[in-house]
């Protein structure tokens, strides 16, 4: 059994002082007030680990380029440095053969209990070419039901996300995917407000990288953004809080409209995160990394160079959120979105021991995934 002696604890809902967190195996056994005689590992600030539902790569590895267990392991190791304890590896629009290979690898990872792998996120290929972003237009297509079906079966614990443009698929496709236990998100879409809301009413519950690659909000046409910001529906918005994808003022407007309870921080990170490379290939295109932004040579954003800890800090500094709300947007909110809020997002008895120790400036000092140390800053003494 491992015991953490915590000076400041954020349990996912409230701040507590001087707590003892006991870990047994992969789970939290108990959380209780600290006594003077307690022994254990001293931790200054402990928070629930971050969940990234949209991450393409890291440490030089891009899941599309090599859909393998080695790539997944690299992604987990790299992003653990930034507080990510669980992720949905994301496959950008690609050929069926690559999608099939990725599906098989994710199944192997889940069946083998690879720490930190929750499932798979197919970002495409059922997207609108006019909102394709960096996606290869030659890879975009309409769904073929028998091929799609072969990509949907995951082990019982696995989660499946599909980002699509509702105007590019048959009318009953969203409801069919939902019936297959897929979490359907709207993205890379030029849909009208009515088309987007029809998808929501059919079960779509997410909006991929809010504001980016989707029809905008105007006075007479609310578009996909207008649908995303509606309240009263069981939907969440992913937000890339890097200061490049969305202006801070626009992020504030979105949070005022939607509420932080239905917004989750995502990275959309490519292989640049955790790498020193200034130039790299992304699905056959040259990508340039400069001052926290990754773009193609023509200036098109190509995913991001963002990590989850930086997203949390940006939510505080750029948007003006309190730390608790920012931390929830990185942990509890994505857990709720995935239906895993009884496993992640809180530091309570029975939850996974997937935790992050932060300093006062919200930089990661240590990360634990399922009770095992996954990252430790060189300056931390144990």
List the catalytic residues: 268
Tell which residue, 182, 168, 263, has the closest CA to residue 213: 168
31 and 14 Cβ atoms separated by less than 8 Å:
no
Q: Are the C-beta atoms of residues 220 and 192 closer than 8 Å to each other?
A: no
Backbone conformation region of residue 268, classed left if phi is above 0, alpha if psi is from -120 to 50, else beta: left
Nearest CA to 275 out of 73, 19, 79, 10 is that of: 79
- On whether the CB atoms of residues 118 and 76 are closer than 8 A, the answer is no
Give the residue from 120, 204, 117 showing the smallest Cα distance to 166: 204
Non-local CB neighbours of 192 within 8 Å, separated by 6+ positions? 167, 215, 221, 223
Q: Cα–Cα distance between 163 and 90 in angstroms, integer?
A: 10
Helix axes 96-111, 69-80, angle to 10 degrees: 70
**Integer Cα distance of 6 and 41 in angstroms:** 8
């Amino acid at each position: 059994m491992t015991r953490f002696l915590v000076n400041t604890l954020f349990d996912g809902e409230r701040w507590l002082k001087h707590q003892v967190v006991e870990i047994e195996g992969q789970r939290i056994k108990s959380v209780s007030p600290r006594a003077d005689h307690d022994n254990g590992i001293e931790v200054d600030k402990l928070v629930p680990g971050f969940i990234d539902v949209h991450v393409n790569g890291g440490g030089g590895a891009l899941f599309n380029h090599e859909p393998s267990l080695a790539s997944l392991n690299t992604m987990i190791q790299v992003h653990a440095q930034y507080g990510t304890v669980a992720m949905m590896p994301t496959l950008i629009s690609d050929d069926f053969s690559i999608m099939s290979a990725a599906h098989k690898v994710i199944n192997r990872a889940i069946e083998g209990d690879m720490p930190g792998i929750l499932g798979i996120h197919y970002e495409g290929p059922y997207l609108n070419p006019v909102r394709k972003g960096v996606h290869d237009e030659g890879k975009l297509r309409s769904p073929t039901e028998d091929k799609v079906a072969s990509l949907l079966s995951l082990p019982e614990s696995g989660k499946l996300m599909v980002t699509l443009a509702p105007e590019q698929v048959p009318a009953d496709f969203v409801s069919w995917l939902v019936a297959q236990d897929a979490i359907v998100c709207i993205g890379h879409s030029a849909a009208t407000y009515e088309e987007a809301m029809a998808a929501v009413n059919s079960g779509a519950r997410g909006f991929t990288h809010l504001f980016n690659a989707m029809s905008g909000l105007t006075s007479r046409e609310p578009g996909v953004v207008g649908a995303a910001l509606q309240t009263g529906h069981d939907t969440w918005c992913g937000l890339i809080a890097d200061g490049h994808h969305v202006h801070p003022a626009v992020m504030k407007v979105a949070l005022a409209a939607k509420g932080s309870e239905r917004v989750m921080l995502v990275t959309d990170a490519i292989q640049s995160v955790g790498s020193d490379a200034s130039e790299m290939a992304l699905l056959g295109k040259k990508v340039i990394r400069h001052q926290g932004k990754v773009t193609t040579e023509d200036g098109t954003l190509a995913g991001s160079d963002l990590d989850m800890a930086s997203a949390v800090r940006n939510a505080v500094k750029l948007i003006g959120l309190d730390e608790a709300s920012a931390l929830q947007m990185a942990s509890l909110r994505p857990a709720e979105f995935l239906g895993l809020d009884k496993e992640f997002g809180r530091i309570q008895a029975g939850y996974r021991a997937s935790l992050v120790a932060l300093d006062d400036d919200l930089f990661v000092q240590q990360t634990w995934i399922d009770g095992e140390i996954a990252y430790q800053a060189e300056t931390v003494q144990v």
